[in-house]
Amino acid sequence: MLTKRIIPCIDVDLDEDGNAAVYTGVHFEDLKYTGDPVEMAKRYNEAGADEFVFLDITASSDGRETMLDTVSKVADEVFIPLTVGGGIRTREDIKETLRAGADKVSINTAALSRPELVTEGATAFGSQCIVISVDAQRRFDEDGEYYAQVDGESCWFECTVKGGREGTDVDVVAWAKEAEERGAGELFVNSIDADGTKDGYDVPLTKAVCDSVSTPVIASSGCGGPEDAYEVFADAGADAALAASIFHFEEYTIREVKEYLADRDVPVRL
């Protein structure tokens, strides 16, 4: 049986010496140095991660070469699927990133501003390597297309950019459907509301997307422990659950999360 996936994610920035380093958000904004990307990738590979996500969070393009070089080093150590996101804006960026050793690229803002990029990427490199990522935020007004019930209220989910600081008025569910039609192979659903809370994934959001598309959905943001992963699989129908800090700060091991899921009849690779 196809298993549910547990995916650790690292946010990679340049440190003051210009080297790639992993940083993890603590209490919403403060970024804490967490480790060396290659070392962390090796550790998670050995710990039973089903995939690995590498997000380049450098704000400028200066670090592009260092990042691609780091992606290659990670790819040489990790014998599980590797997704790389951040700063991918053109077909050429996709090609470079895949050539550096990524199996999939995750595209966010650039796809929203130019949806043809999804079609171009899927046609040129195959749907299996095009992951569309959204940063969703709940909105309780009447501007949306698809509504869900959240705490007894009707709400829709807006695609945001710049880490949730800017709205786009694009409905996440409508965009997910379009991205799928354009050939996206997976959807990576982040929640601005849940991010950093450790109170659990945004289940209504994840469920709204899972119910609308047949493309695999990776739930992200808000994981505080194994019970949150269970909830997003059982109640929202996610195909994969992504987590960062609970693994980085060793609050739980990947194995502990998977054993918890297996005990509750969620199929996992142990």
What residues are labeled active site?
11, 135
Nearest distance in Å: CB 78, other proteins: 9
Candidates 25, 58, 66, 72; binder of other proteins (CB under 8 A) is 72
Among the residue ranges 154-162, 187-195, 211-219, 251-259, the one whose residues contact other proteins (CB under 8 A): 211-219
113-142 residues in contact with other proteins (CB under 8 A) are 125-129
Structure tokens at 60: 């400028």
Helix, coil or strand: residue 29: helix
177, 165 Cβ separation under 8 angstroms: no
Structure tokens at 184: 């996206």
Of 66 and 127, which CB lies nearer to other proteins in the complex structure? 127
Alpha helices in the chain (DSSP H): 37-46, 64-77, 91-99, 109-113, 116-125, 172-181, 203-212, 226-234, 245-248, 254-263
How many other C-beta atoms are found inside a 10 Å radius of the C-beta of residue 143? 10
Among the residue ranges 19-27, 93-101, 161-169, 227-235, the one whose residues contact other proteins (CB under 8 A): 93-101
Candidates 64, 66, 91, 103; binder of other proteins (CB under 8 A) is 103
Angle, CA 52 vertex, CA 48 and CA 57 arms, to 5°:
145
Candidates 30, 62, 65, 76; binder of other proteins (CB under 8 A) is 76
- Report if residue 60 touches other proteins, rule: CB under 8 A: no
Of 50 and 135, which CB lies nearer to other proteins in the complex structure? 50
- Report if residue 50 touches other proteins, rule: CB under 8 A: yes
Among the residue ranges 57-65, 71-79, 150-158, 173-181, the one whose residues contact other proteins (CB under 8 A): 71-79
- Report if residue 75 touches other proteins, rule: CB under 8 A: yes
Query: Which element (helix H / strand E) includes 12?
Result: strand 5-14
- Report if residue 237 touches other proteins, rule: CB under 8 A: no
Q: Would the CA dihedral through 105, 241, 194, 68 be positive or negative?
A: negative
9, 244 Cβ separation under 8 angstroms: yes
Nearest distance in Å: CB 79, other proteins: 6
Of 185 and 200, which CB lies nearer to other proteins in the complex structure? 185
Q: Which of 148, 208, 157, 214 is nearest to 181 (CA)?
A: 214
Cα separation, 158 vs 142, whole angstroms: 12
State the residues that interact with other proteins by CB under 8 A: 1-3, 5, 45, 48, 50, 72, 75-76, 79-81, 98-99, 101, 103, 125-129, 185-186, 214-216, 239-240, 269
